[in-house]
Amino acid sequence: MSQKSLITIILICTLSGFNVANATSVSDQDTQVISRSSLGVWMLKQDLNQPKFNCAIRFISAKDSQTSFSIFGPTKQTSHATILFQAKNIPTTYTPQEIQIQLRQQNLAATPLKAQLLPSSQTGMLAVNTGDIQQTLKSMRDQEKDMQLKLNDATIYTLNYEGLAQARTAMQDCLAGKAVKTKSLKQATAEIRPLGNSTITGQAFYKGAILAKKQYPPKDSQAVGLIWMTDEFKAWYDQVKRNKKLPAHIPESILKHFMSTRILDDQGHFKFTNLPAGDYILIANFSYDKNVSHTEVVGRTDVYAGNQYIGSNDQIARWNYVVKEGTSFEKPVTISKDGETINVSLDKSQIMCFLVCF
């Protein structure tokens, strides 16, 4: 295994789990981190301008940060509560659709639910309207193992969570008009990695040839990661290279060096914020469309001149189709001083040097 592929695999494996540092798209102004565990993180969103309204709690899975479970309280327009399920296996739709699903929880009878598929192009979203928000909160257990949603006998959603008791209390305080003060998203992130005032923005794309069109990672995907290249990380990675294998456990002091963010649009734009000055490595990892041509002899045609056989020609069929091809590529970035904004093109068509150069 090459040094380049080893570090890419470590990054991908590390970022497949969620930590608060990944949640760069969540507003820090009105979001509180209620609790974190090995299963994921509970967050509270509150609208300080409209006390008692627009309260929401959200659990984001550590297994897959695209899997989440949210409960939204009343607004000035609606008095009911809404539960929102979000996951890759939930079908996507361009227009809202009413469907019937089944909720399955351990040691409980299956519960049929009326739900609505919400418009989404990448990660599916499913909304279930409930009645009184307080009753909804009381009816939920503090932890769930292998909670599932079924659609036509197919499992479209699976979630393990714990820590709802703290999230429930925070939600009830918000509904009562109290300003909840636990940890802001920025404070929680500071527990994981040092913060600064710098930003790295850019665009990731693959371009296989000079005249080929640019292909971008999917919107909302976590296709771009960032590694903070401190002396501590380099020393740890040198040891990994000497061992020639992936570590079974990555220390907390090393985990703070790994970050990811979501692709912002269909043109592959991304953004990392609150970074300290220093050296970094950007890594893109996604699939692109590859055109493949295939020829096949499907028969033969005999050729005659009069009654005289003079030879034969192959009958050739040509097939053109598109396959998904995985790609990963990297680029070093340096923030010289705190407060800088660096804009980069994370481009497969460029020749880039990574840790193999050390």
Short-list 306, 346, 115, 120, CA closest to 214 = 346
Q: Which of 190, 213, 242 is the last residue of a domain?
A: 190
Q: Which of 136, 164, 190 is the last residue of a domain?
A: 190
| CATH (domain of 307) | 2.60.40.1120
Whether residues 181 and 282 share a domain: the answer is no
**pLDDT at residue 257 greater than cutoff 80:** yes
pLDDT of residue 271: 93
Across-strand partners of 68?
60, 86
Whole-angstrom distance, CA of residue 16 vs CA of residue 219: 17
Short-list 39, 47, 91, 14, CA closest to 254 = 14
- Asked whether residue 97 is domain-assigned, the answer is yes
| CATH (domain of 61) | 2.60.40
Whole-angstrom distance, CA of residue 139 vs CA of residue 159: 17
Whether residues 78 and 140 share a domain: the answer is yes
Comparing 225 with 65, the larger pLDDT belongs to 225
Across-strand partners of 69?
59, 85
Task: For residues 61-65, give the mean pLDDT.
Answer: 79
**pLDDT at residue 17 greater than cutoff 60:** no
Whether residues 149 and 238 share a domain: the answer is no
The answer to whether residues 41 and 35 touch, using CB atoms and an 8 Å cutoff, is yes
- pTM above 0.75? no
Whole-angstrom distance, CA of residue 18 vs CA of residue 354: 25
Sign of CA dihedral 128, 134, 138, 143: positive
Which pLDDT band, with edges at 50, 70 and 90, does 111 fall under?
very high
- Asked whether residue 82 is domain-assigned, the answer is yes
Percentage of residues of the chain with pLDDT beyond 70: 82
How many domains in the chain? Answer: 2
Whether residues 244 and 124 share a domain: the answer is no
Which two three-digit tokens encode residue 75? 């607004």
Longest dimension (CA), the chain: 99
Comparing 324 with 102, the larger pLDDT belongs to 102
Which pLDDT band, with edges at 50, 70 and 90, does 36 fall under?
confident
**What tens digit of pLDDT does each residue of 145-193 get?**
999 999 999 999 999 999 999 999 999 999 999 988 877 666 666 666 6
Task: Kindly report which listed range (55-59, 274-278, 279-283, 299-303) carries the lowest average pLDDT score.
Answer: 299-303
- Asked whether residue 299 is domain-assigned, the answer is yes
Whether residues 147 and 75 share a domain: the answer is yes
> Would strands 40-45 and 31-36 be described as parallel, antiparallel, or unpaired?
antiparallel
- Asked whether residue 6 is domain-assigned, the answer is no
Burial label, 308 (beta-carbon count in 10 A; 0-12, 13-18, 19+)? exposed
Mean pLDDT taken over the chain: 82
- Asked whether residue 13 is domain-assigned, the answer is no
Whether residues 246 and 297 share a domain: the answer is yes
Q: Which of 190, 216, 233 is the last residue of a domain?
A: 190
Task: For residues 287-293, give the mean pLDDT.
Answer: 68
Whether residues 231 and 332 share a domain: the answer is yes
- Vertex 235 angle, CA 229 and 352, to 5°: 45
- Asked whether residue 226 is domain-assigned, the answer is yes
pLDDT of residue 15: 45
Whether residues 210 and 326 share a domain: the answer is yes
Whether residues 151 and 244 share a domain: the answer is no
- Asked whether residue 176 is domain-assigned, the answer is yes
pLDDT of residue 20: 37
pLDDT of residue 294: 66
Percentage of residues of the chain with pLDDT beyond 90: 39
| SS3 per residue for the chain | CCHHHHHHHHHHHHHCCCCHHHCCCCCCCCEEEEEECCCEEEEEECCCCCCCCCCEEEEEECCCCCCEEEEECCCCCCCCEEEEEEECCCCCECCCEEEEEEEECCCCCCEEEEEEEECECCCEEEEEEECCHHHHHHHCCCCEEEEEEEECCEEEEEEEECCHHHHHHHHHHHHCCCCCCCEEHHHHHHCCCCCCCEEEEEEEEECCCCCCCCECCCCCCCCEEEEECCHHHHHHHHHHHHHCCCCCCCCHHHHCCEEEECCCCCCCEEEEEEECCEEEEEEEEEEEEEEEEEEEEEEEEEEEECCEEEEEEEEEEEEEEEEEEEEEEEEEEEECCCCCEEEEEEECCCCCCCHHHC
Whether residues 184 and 218 share a domain: the answer is no
Which pLDDT band, with edges at 50, 70 and 90, does 321 fall under?
low
**pLDDT at residue 304 greater than cutoff 70:** yes
- Asked whether residue 46 is domain-assigned, the answer is yes
Whether residues 248 and 342 share a domain: the answer is yes
Domain that holds residue 322: 198-357
Whether residues 179 and 203 share a domain: the answer is no
